[in-house]
Structure 1
Amino acid sequence: MYYLVPGLILVILMLTKYFDFSLGSVTESSLWRSTDYGTTYEKLDEKVGPKTILSYLYVSPNNKRKIMLLTDPEVESSLLISFDEGASYQRYHLAFDILSLLFHPEQEDWILAYSHDQKLYVSVEFGRRWQLVHDSVVPNRFYWSKLGLDKEPGMIHLETSVSDRRSQYITCKLQNCTEANKGRPFPGFISPDSLVVQNQYVFIQVPMGGRHVHYVSYKRNAFFPMKLPKYTFPKDLQIISTDDNQVVAAVQDWHQNDSYNLYMSEARGLFFTLALENVVSSGGPEGNVMIDLYEVAGIKGVFLSNKVVENEVKTFITYNKGRDWRLLHAPTTDLSGTRLYCVQPYCSLHLHLHVSDNPYTSGNIVSKESAPGIIVASGTIGPELTANNVSIFITSDAGNTWREVFEEEYSILFLNQGGALVAIRHTPLPIRHIWLSFDEGRRWNKFSFTSSPLYVDGVLGEPGEDTLIMTIFGHFSHRSEWQLVKIDFRPVFNRRCTTDDYQTWQLHNDGKVCIMGVKRIFQNLKPDARCVKTKDQYISQMSDSCPCTEADFEWLIFHQVGVLLCCLWCLFFLWERHKGVTRCVEWPVRYCWRGAPGGIVIFLFIFKERCGELE
């Protein structure tokens, strides 16, 4: 395992293990530390114990100076803790075996530990002392409280097992989880393995009449059944996202096996509308469900999804968070410059949308908050998505136009907040070259990073969005020791960027610049710029709101409760939000819509036009 820890200086910690295939277990481990950006490493086996076998390395998300090492419980159960970026360690023996850890999002010393015997422990001293919270806790169904939503900061949400078919949802105070202090936000039993706490929402399933009914609580208030369209008969529901005050859920209907339907909710997560049908699904490595839906980083409302259309998998894109979807335009030319004749709907660009769980390898698709508009993905051109003849494609305008950059699979690393891209080939063969681009993949320069070909096991950049140093690690042969190659790109970027180094581009959807009621303008580096970007130089610039059309709105609950109740709901919502309305004119049924996500200005525009002036 390999980790980067930024402090006063950049510290790199690396944990290596020797797996004995004849014994089927790890028999040796070593801890390494570098304080010079990976140029040299010090072996720390004497500081952690020469015969100690380490299994995991953790870094406090709130204080990078605090390191925690977990030993192999098959040998001994203990923690080694460092408060000086891994320079020295103290050992603490444990009375239980840790299966997983959950750090508090704000308090750097608060940690939850889940044991192999389904007990949950808490430490408020960064692992030096532990206290039992509760037993019979369902795996991965425990959550820290959220400031501003829960009554107390030191509260834990957890699901406890009552029997094979019943669980309970309870809340506990941090160090006082007695029967008298337990909270029961939902009074009855819930379905096993169903508690989900995300942002202002809490989701559970309740067994009822031989099926599982899905409930939601908004801002820790009472639970209500989630309202899906009448024609929906769900056999499974997965919560995809709760960002932007909206729930995105994937629902598998009774007749579906390898696909789900995508639904979007209003703010409370109670009423849902269909966004996209027959989205591709697959089983994850831990038995979880993986949905082919990818949210593009850096630009709100842009998603990519793979949908089954007449037994063919095709990639679709939306710019208004699911209100409208369309196929991707294929590049106009191939890598050799030959013109491509690809006419929709018979031919388009299709992308693999799986994100890698391995921090040392890139997935099929990547985008960054600091580089809005740039998406790198592997895929194919034709009538459907295939696993053969895969190429690498790049877009600089958030998916409107694409370029083919490699005819084989490559890992792409973002440098300098997207100001440069590094590509390294995916291959089981040894390699010694990387490719570097300063113009978002339009031109690539080839460089040698080693004199002898290297079997590459992974690539890692320094943490954060400002990566200028990367490390390639692997082996010269299958019997050789680990080899690490440090590549320092800092000399290439010899100054800070100025306003003259930037150019602007406007977000659009097939030429339409008004998206969700606003026009958005972004900045990117000019192709010839060789400068270091600062964190405030990639923020989008929002222009005035645009005239609204029906495409900026979507139906909310028309199909649920009928025209009359729908319009009453709209009027009630209007009155609650804008009590300064002085008069109300005709409200046609077709204007009983919900504003698209992010469209606050749109909502006000329609209110002013349809229901008089606001004070």
Structure 2
Amino acid sequence: MRFRNLLGRGTAAPSHGEHAQRRPRRWLSGATATALATAAVIGTLAVCLSAAQGVAATASPSLSPRQHVTQAGQPTHKRHEFPATVTDYTWFHNSTNVLAHCLDGSIWLSSNEGLTWNALKDVGGDHGDGHALGVIPHRYSHDRAYLIGRGRRVWYTTDRGSNWGVFDAPDVPNSMGLNLLEFNPRNPDWLIWSGQYDCEHISSPNCRARAWYSTDGGNYWEKLDEYVKTCAWPHIEHFKENPQTIICESYKSKSGSQRSFTQANNPLELIVGDKFYKSKKKIFDNVVDFATFSEFILVGELLDKGTTLRMQVSLNGRDFTPPVFPPSMSPKSQADTVLESRTHALFLHHTTHPDKNLEWGALMKSNSNGSYYIVSQDFVNRNKQGFVDFDKTQSMEGIAFVNIVSNPESAAITRVKQLQTRVTHNDGGHWDLLDPPAHDLAGKPYGCVEKNCSLHLQSFTERPNPALSYTSPTAPGLILAVGNVGTKLDSWAHSDTFLSRDGGFLWEEVGKGAHMWEFGDQGNIIVMAVDSKPTRKVSYTLDHGKNWLEYDFGEELVVTGIATVPEDTHRKFMLFGLPPKFNAHRTVGIHLDFSHTEPRKCNLDLAHPENDDFELFSPSEHRKEDCLFGQQTYYLRRKRQAKCYVGQALPNPHEIRKKCPCTDVDFECEYNHARNASGICVQLPNTTPLPSDPYSQCKDGKTEQWFERTSVRRIPLSACEGGARPDRGRAHDCPNRLRLGHGVFWWGSILLAAVLLAGLLSFWWTQKMGSRGAGGNIRLPGSSSSGFSSGGPLSTLASVVPFLQGVGLIIFSKLFDLFESLPGLGRSGSRSREAFGYRSLSADADAEALNEYDDDEVDT
């Protein structure tokens, strides 16, 4: 589900779609509330239309020096004018239904991708008056959305807006900035509502937020807690977490007006409650915020009476440990920004220079369990709100862009930051300058001969609209960005528009000036409009930017955004804009339809690929083979010259051909190491390297050797096999392997054989003696009817058998205890679900200290 906030150019909208990049989480010490924002998917806005006319498409000399290409058909459009400014829209996943919300509170629904719009006059408000304060889409169930009014009544849909129901919330919506609704990732009817109580006036002495939960979609509510900042379901998709667990940030003191609370006069406690919060446990005494990612839970803990911040990390929400930073970098900070984690490692921006308007810091990267951190890139730019210049691609893992402060020493004096862009293609292991295009849009060389002359891109804090994304979830390798070629990043007004088709290795200029854009048909249609200037035209390409055409939609607008379905698979778009002179408070929506530009559907023939319209490409890492993270991965895309449309998402968009030998790009610096000017990982001054860890390498009982640590470690995302292994130092034999010398497994095998022999002998004797007795006879100890006299040889043997049985059981029990205590075999490290608190983590990247779970935990 795609949601965009359209009110204000400088604000970022919360991201709710599964393809949207997760919002960064900033933690600021003291009483500063954590802001929410997104580094999200492309586009912004919502659209509306009526009364259409087609306008001819023409070649765009300002966008391409190439000749005009005749197309099979031309786009069409239809116009709609809203009664007020459109503030946000919600586009349902895999659907043509769109909701638009206007500044006057009116709600509009389109069931045909914005071609026509109808006002929802019977929903919203307390009595169905057609107005709402806002629209909240369900984060996990993409058919659902909720209309929030001023009172307790909430209108909701479970079928993408076609039908609406209503429930009464237990309290009126809060005005304290808390999320009104929280959603359970597994049960769409499980809701948490955070309202406010006793807050009739701004000076009400006992005004407070109250959290409630419902398991039936809002029909019945039970109270969780009051005086809270956040209550939420843990949405940790891959963790074995009880689905009834709820995490709350709850103020310690439960009296007074919550509006007057600060972290200094009333600390926030982190409470984890099982059984719908009925079995509660306090985890931390004073926190700023918490965040859950696909592999980690992070908590910002306040120390030193709220003056410094320390992060805590967990893999299961039960056991937390502070991260271990290099000694040169204090784990305590005044601001940390937790960045998205999707690659088995955590990225964290740790502020090292907090001066106002001169903020920057170190981009830290963790090992696989989030415990040990290295500096992936220093001097990474951020702004005073805590947002960081960090952008990751949506369709290809491990590719990211940052802007760094290239003049940290002089910036402290001149008060001016000079920014440069860096790119990584191996998840932060290496960062490089971007190679500039060979020539500009007109075919002229850039005349750039300086050593650091490269392409620099406008990132999250520089873009007027932070929601504008570089990439599309269904167009692997395709990147659009605004920037310039030179020694440093220029202003937005002096930037141009650039395109890459291979994940950021090769670039070409595709537009003079800054543009906004949207991808369609899995990147095979790109629609652009000039940014911040009145225009009556859009530019579009049907061949990945090789040729561009212009389409006149009939009136001048200051375009505020372009959008399409969240999957970027359709050929219909919505353009939002404001008239430059009159009625500037009313949004005009233009429905753009490119369905007739390519009438033929592309042919995909995996059995005969030479005859179809697709090709396989692999992003290069400048190796002999096209490998990415140790795998030869090929992505499917339409051939650039093919005259057809793709339509719905491809069934297998990529394939892995084979594993690749390990090379230097599969490794990053180990803890307490950093790259020198030659790119070699060296130990930092006055530091101690981590000790080697034979246990984690030998724990499976099958590995023959363990290796000493070196200055590098393998990137968690890499799957390379063989080749160079600079992460392996001197080899040693594993102590728990079967050896010719009498090791523990050799003796264990001998003892186990004895136990089995005793058991077999006991079974044989029992069967033999049992076959001799009369049917139904029961032999008791000391019975004279046993068939032999006491004290004879048979009696002695009969007593030996149960003795051996007993000895066998005892030996087996002792062996079991022994095996349980051996590394990697037992459960000596296991813990109950109620064992909250801290645990030290193994230093190894594959440590399982945070990965152990009890058998009764629920799989996610």
Tell me, yes or no, whether TM beats 0.5: yes
Inter-CA distance 508–98: structure 2 relative to 1 (3 Å threshold) = same
> Which residue of the partner structure matches residue 152 of structure 1?
242
Q: Which deviations, in whole Å up to 9, do the C-alpha atoms of 1:518-563 show, x marking residues without a partner?
A: 3333232212221224423662333333332344322333569999
User: Does residue 336 in structure 1 map to residue 456 in structure 2?
Assistant: no
The equivalent of 1:21 in structure 2 is none
Which structure 2 residues correspond to residues 118-267 of structure 1 after superposition, within 5 A?
118-139=209-230, 142-146=232-236, 149-162=239-252, 164-165=263-264, 166-173=267-274, 175=276, 177-178=277-278, 181-184=279-282, 186=283, 188-191=284-287, 193-209=288-304, 211-233=308-330, 234-235=332-333, 236-253=335-352, 257-267=358-368
Distance 2:672 2:462 in 1: 39
1:465-484 correspondence to structure 2 within 5 Å: 465-476=568-579, 478-479=582-583, 482-484=587-589
1:57 counterpart (135, 139, 150): 135
Q: Which moved further from structure 2: 250-259 or 374-383?
A: 250-259
Shift of 1:249: 1.0
CA distance in 1, matches of 2:556, 2:530: 13
After TM superposition, the structure 1 = structure 2 runs for residues 62-73 of structure 1, keeping only pairs within 5 Å, are 62-71=140-149, 73=150
Query: What's the CA shift string for 1:242-262, capped at 9, x where partnerless?
Result: 322211111112676510101
Aligned to 2:167: 92
Q: CA deviation at 1:62?
A: 4.5
CA distance in 2, matches of 1:105, 1:228: 33
Residues 107 and 131 in structure 2, CA contact (< 8 A), matched pair in contact too: no
Corresponding residue for 2:106? Answer: 30
TM alignment of 1:528-539, pairs within 5 A: 528-529=641-642, 530-536=644-650, 539=653
| CA distances 1:439-459 after superposition (whole Å, capped 9, x unpaired) | 21121011122x333343432
Residue matched to 2:629: 516
For 2:709 and 2:557, how far apart are their aligned partners in 1?
66
Quick one: which amino acid aligns to residue 296 of structure 2? Y
Greater Cα shift, 31-40 or 128-137: 31-40
Q: Are 1:458 and 2:458 matched, yes or no?
A: no
Aligned to 1:416: 521
For residue 559 of structure 2, what is the amino acid of its counterpart?
V
Q: Secondary structure at the match of 2:193?
A: strand
Q: Decide whether the 8 Å contact of 2:361 with 2:379 is kept in 1.
A: yes
- Deviation string 1:341-362 (CA, Å, 9 cap, x unpaired) is 324533111001128999xx77
Question: Within 5 Å, which residues of 2 pair with 1:215-614?
Answer: 215-233=312-330, 234-235=332-333, 236-253=335-352, 257-284=358-385, 289-310=386-407, 311=411, 312-343=418-449, 345-354=451-460, 363=467, 365-387=469-491, 388-429=493-534, 431-449=535-553, 451-476=554-579, 478-479=582-583, 482-494=587-599, 495-499=601-605, 500-510=612-622, 513-529=626-642, 530-536=644-650, 539-557=653-671, 566=690, 568-569=692-693, 571-576=694-699, 579-583=701-705, 587=707, 590=710, 593-602=712-721, 606=725
Distance 2:139 2:708 in 1: 52
- The letter for the 2-side match of 1:132 is K
Separation in 2, partners of 1:86, 1:222: 42
* Structure 2 CA distance for partners of 1:136 and 1:444, relative to 1, 3 Å: same
CA distance in 1, matches of 2:672, 2:426: 20
Q: Provide structure 1 residue ranges, at least 5 long, that are not aligned to the other structure.
A: 19-28
**CA drift at 1:367:** 0.6
Deviation of 1:398 after TM superposition, in Å, equals: 1.1
Contact 1:555–1:594 (8 Å) recurs in 2: yes
- Counterpart-to-counterpart distance in 1, 2:690 and 2:484: 44
Query: Shift of the alpha carbon at 1:156?
Result: 1.0
| Structure 2 counterpart of 1:31, one-letter code | I
Distance 1:579 1:254, change over 3 A: farther
Identity %: 19
Pairwise CA distance, 1:466: 1.1
Amino acid at match of 1:453: E
Q: 1:338 to 1:84 in 2, by over 3 A?
A: closer
2:499 counterpart SS class: strand
Q: 1:383 to 1:510 in 2, by over 3 A?
A: farther
Contact 2:618 2:627 in 1 (8 A): no
Give 2:157's aligned amino acid: S
**Any conservation in 2 of the 1:595–1:603 contact (CA below 8 Å)?**
no
Distance 1:379 1:589, change over 3 A: same
**CA distance in 1 between partners of 2:229 and 2:450 (Å):** 48
The aligned amino acid for 1:309 is: S
Whether the aligned pair in 1 keeps the contact of 2:709 and 2:728 (CA below 8 Å) is no
Q: Quickly say closer, same or farther: Cα 1:31–1:328, change in 2 above 3 A.
A: same
Greater relative CO (CA pairs within 8 A, separation 6+): 2
Is the CA contact (8 Å cut-off) linking 1:122 and 1:174 kept in structure 2?
A: no
User: 1:156 and 1:213, CA in 2 relative to 1: closer, same or farther beyond 3 A?
Assistant: same
Instruction: Write the distance in 1 (CA, Å) between the matches of 2:473 and 2:421.
Output: 22
Aligned partner of 1:17 among 103, 112, 126: 103
Give the superposition deviation at 1:172: 2.2
Q: Deviations over 1:196-223 (max 9, x none)?
A: 3333423234445564433222223422
Q: Which letter does structure 2 place at the counterpart of 1:197?
A: T
Does 1:106 find its partner at 2:175?
no
**2:77 matches 1:77:** no
Aligned 8 A contact 2:343 2:398 in 1: no
Q: Do the aligned partners of 1:557 and 1:566 also contact (CA within 8 Å) in 2? A: yes
Once the two structures are TM-superposed, the CA of residue 277 in structure 1 deviates from its matched residue by 0.2
Whole-angstrom distance in 2 between the partners of 1:60 and 1:254? 38
Cα shift at 1:365: 4.0
TM-score under structure 1 normalisation? 0.85
Q: Could you say which residue in structure 2 is the equivalent of 1:22?
A: none
Larger radius of gyration: 2
Confirm or deny: 8 A CA contact 2:238 2:295 kept in the other structure.
no
For the 8 Å contact 1:47–1:88, the answer to whether it is kept is: no
Aligned to 2:71: none
* Residue 263 of structure 1, CA deviation: 1.0
Instruction: Give the conservation status (yes or no) of the 8 Å contact 1:329–1:349.
Output: yes
Change in CA separation of 1:213 and 1:33 when aligned onto 2, cut-off 3 Å: closer
2:767 is matched with none
TM-score (structure 2 length as normaliser): 0.62
- Structure 2 residue identity aligned to 1:77: R
